[in-house]
Structure 1
Amino acid sequence: MYSKDADAMYDEMCRLIGDVVLTMHDFGIEPKHIVIADMLRTALASDAERPEFMVKAMKLAIKTLET
């Protein structure tokens, strides 16, 4: 069906979105798709070093959440 790379990217996107949703829950914030995308965008804008695979997954997750 899908390649191992596509499956790995999907898994990473789900992990990232899940982490954001759980963090939002901890702070009592309702996890709406646009807010999740904004949190991922803010994380991308920070100076933190991230593996290229994670950056790509974050960008794809944002794109998916905004459509």
Structure 2
Amino acid sequence: MAIIKGATPMWIKSSYSAGNGACVELKSPAAHSVAVRDSKDPHGPTLAFDPTTWSAFVAEVGRDEHTA
């Protein structure tokens, strides 16, 4: 399932999750925000991003620009 900015009110797990517990979940209940959380801690903290910033980050990760 793809995240639709402003139209994804429920948490969805990344399609890249391998089932090893190292997963992120996303939702976008409002057009101006993308929320991210750790799937292992659903009641824990969340991060909120502007959709443009989130899209830029995802694109950079896809180009392997964020490595440890």
TM-score by length of 2: 0.31
Larger helix fraction of residues: 1
Larger strand fraction of residues: 2
TM-score by length of 1: 0.32
